[in-house]
Amino acid sequence: MFCEKCGAALDDDAVFCPNCGASLKEADDEEIKKESETAVGSEKKRNSGVIIALSITGGIAMLCLMVGMHIYNNMKYIDLVKNGSPKLYPDSTYGEAFENFFSDPEWEYFKSTEDEDIVEFSGGCTYMDEPVTATLQFDLDYEKGRFSTEYFEMDGEEQSELMTMAILAKVFSEYENEDGDAGVLNDLEEDTDDW
């Protein structure tokens, strides 16, 4: 240890400098004060770091909650269609039959421009020996637990109501009878002749 005023070497237990007579207690008090200010400053930095970390964690948790609620909300509409059955095939659900017939089945919920609840299904199949993507849209009345098929297209080309009925008949009859090539619509026109 050295004297702060004159720089003379001191014993560790000295209270006064033997060279200049300066009190070493004042130096210790100043050093303690500096150390305590440094400790308080670092404590403030540590507290602000904790607050920032907690804020970020809370924000992420809130975002996850909102995304989870959005997904749950969408799934209830999709599940209404997937778990529903047409009157002619009460033992088969749309989810089972569609996922059996189409490749890469995808279900999506959205609000239409008219503020209607819409569930859209898309999946691959074969039509006239060519691979196509079929898209069907269902208009929902969630409160009543009802829905109807409102739109059908293949590779972006809108299909008639007759073709819509024919594809649904083909999908469900193949699922219930399991006697055909799943996903093949080559004889779809023949099916429409019976309507």
Q: Answer yes or no: is 87 within a domain.
A: no
Do 42 and 117 fall into the same domain?
A: no
Sequence-distant (≥ 6) Cβ neighbours of residue 31 within 8 angstroms: none
> Which domain does 60 fall in, by range?
1-73
Strand arrangement of the beta sheet that strand 146-154 belongs to: 103-111, 117-127, 130-141, 146-154, 157-158
Query: Does one domain contain both 23 and 54?
Result: yes
What does the CA dihedral 80, 86, 178, 106 come to, rounded to 10 degrees? -30
The CA distance from 51 to 174, in Å, is 61
Alpha helices in the chain (DSSP H): 24-82, 94-101, 161-177, 188-193
- Domain assignment present for residue 83? The answer is no
Domain count, the chain: 2
Looking at the fold, whether 54 and 114 belong to one and the same domain comes out as no
- Both 57 and 121 in one domain: the answer is no
Distance CA 132, CA 146 (A): 29
Residue 61 and residue 16 share a domain: yes
Residue 79: inside a domain:
no
Task: Give the model confidence (pLDDT) of 53-101 as tens digits.
Answer: 777 877 776 776 665 555 556 799 999 999 999 998 999 999 999 999 9
Of 38, 73, 108, which one is at a domain's C-terminal end? 73
pLDDT digits (tens, 9 = 90+) for 162-186: 999 999 999 999 998 865 455 555 5
Is residue 140 domain-resident?
yes
In a domain, 124, yes or no: yes
Question: pTM of the entire structure?
Answer: 0.59
Same domain, 104 and 164: yes
Asked whether residue 80 is domain-assigned, the answer is no
Q: Is 89 within the bounds of a domain?
A: no
Which 8-state DSSP code applies to residue 157? E
